[in-house]
Amino acid sequence: MSGAAVSVCVPVWNREDVLEQTLTSILEQTFDDLEVLVLDNASTDGSRTVAERVARRDSRVRVFVNMENIGGWPNHRRLLELASGRYVKFCNSDDLLSPGTIERLAGWLDDPSIGLAFARQTFADGNLRPLPGWGPPPLVAASGRIDGDTLIEACFERRSNLIGCPTATMFRRAELPPATWASLGGSTFWVAGDLASWFPLARARAVGYVHDAPAVVRVHTQMESLAPAVSVLDVTDWAGMALEARRLGWPVGEATLRTVLGTTLRMLAASDHVLGGSEWTPFVLRALEQTASTLGALDAGAALPRDFVASFAVPIPLPDMDPSHVACREIATKRLMPRLLVG
């Protein structure tokens, strides 16, 4: 199928138990001018079989398969290359959309002054029981327009993703080329790559927010086993994004930047990896040194580092990050691959 208004992109890795439920929530949307692109990232379970079964029932679904696992963010980039719709809507392969989510988001993007549309996120466990305490509270309590610069500044001030994971957002395909996914100002971000992708779309524009047709994000307990490594990269990603935004002249004031860098220092210093005995120890110590140096440069009015994240190497090979959920994200490494959940 080609020429659809919205490309719904579903990255998949080992989700045979919930994938059909996810695809059903997409196909039963009140907005039906869709192409649904499922990209299986070399699953070892029956995910491909499930997707192909759904595709036989509905011609809007097309299934693609990677012969080897290419990692989470590259899988998203590949989906962007495959998409043909005017608008793009990602949906993680275990999440659900409320019946009117796509219609409401697409309605916002029909207005050329809107750079990005996003829906409120609600969180649920693997059995779809609500988890009301998860995730940050929304910036506003009702659907409406939000100033993009105000939203960006609030994200940095609160050090929180107030926009949401890929399941919650929609954007114009022409405005987010595949090569720029998960990057900001030329730097790639391991954990916060989705947020880094949203910021340029929101910058100096309005953003459309949908409160009453939320995206439902599943939270899996097995994610927590990878949280220590994720927490380290999450901390450095926020510092790196704040510095990139500041360098680009975005609304990140000196006080906000100091707060982000100060929080980075405190969180890294409190990490168990500081004590040694971990493959993350050299990374954390180097990140501490670089953050302190950056704060010193800010005090002295000197030039800030151009590529904060690239100034220290991650300790293990990373094919890329899997966005998964706002609550907790996984690192796509060969060592962790048996437990990795992609899509």
Percentage of the chain exceeding pLDDT 70: 87
155/160 Cα distance (integer angstroms):
5
Q: Tell me the per-residue pLDDT of 230-248, one tens digit each, with 9 for 90 and over.
A: 778 888 999 999 999 999 9
Decide if 304 is inside a domain: yes
Q: Structurally, how many domains does the chain consist of?
A: 2
Note the pLDDT of residue 221.
Answer: 55
Note the pLDDT of residue 336.
Answer: 28
Which has the closest alpha carbon to 47: 38, 35, 56?
A: 38
Which of these ranges, 80-89, 271-280, 299-308, has the smallest mean pLDDT? 271-280
Of 167, 188, 221, the residue at which a domain comes to its end is 221
Of 168, 191, 221, the residue at which a domain comes to its end is 221
More confident of the two residues 60 and 220: 60
Say whether both 87 and 162 belong to one domain: yes
More confident of the two residues 52 and 325: 52
Note the pLDDT of residue 229.
Answer: 63
Boundaries of domain holding 247: 224-339
Note the pLDDT of residue 331.
Answer: 33
Of 152, 187, 221, the residue at which a domain comes to its end is 221
Phi/psi for 251 (5° steps) reads -75, 70
Q: With b meaning 16 or more CB within 10 Å and e meaning fewer, what string describes 71-92?
A: bbbbbbbbbbeebebbbbbbbb
Q: Decide if 119 contacts 105 (C-beta within 8 A).
A: yes
Computed over every residue of the chain, the mean pLDDT equals: 86
More confident of the two residues 76 and 277: 76
Say whether both 49 and 152 belong to one domain: yes
Phi/psi for 128 (5° steps) reads 65, 25
pLDDT at 1 over 90: no
Q: Tell me the per-residue pLDDT of 128-175, one tens digit each, with 9 for 90 and over.
A: 999 888 888 889 999 999 999 999 999 999 999 999 999 999 999 999
Mean pLDDT of 52-70: 96
Decide if 320 is inside a domain: yes
35/85 Cα distance (integer angstroms):
7
pLDDT at 203 over 90: yes
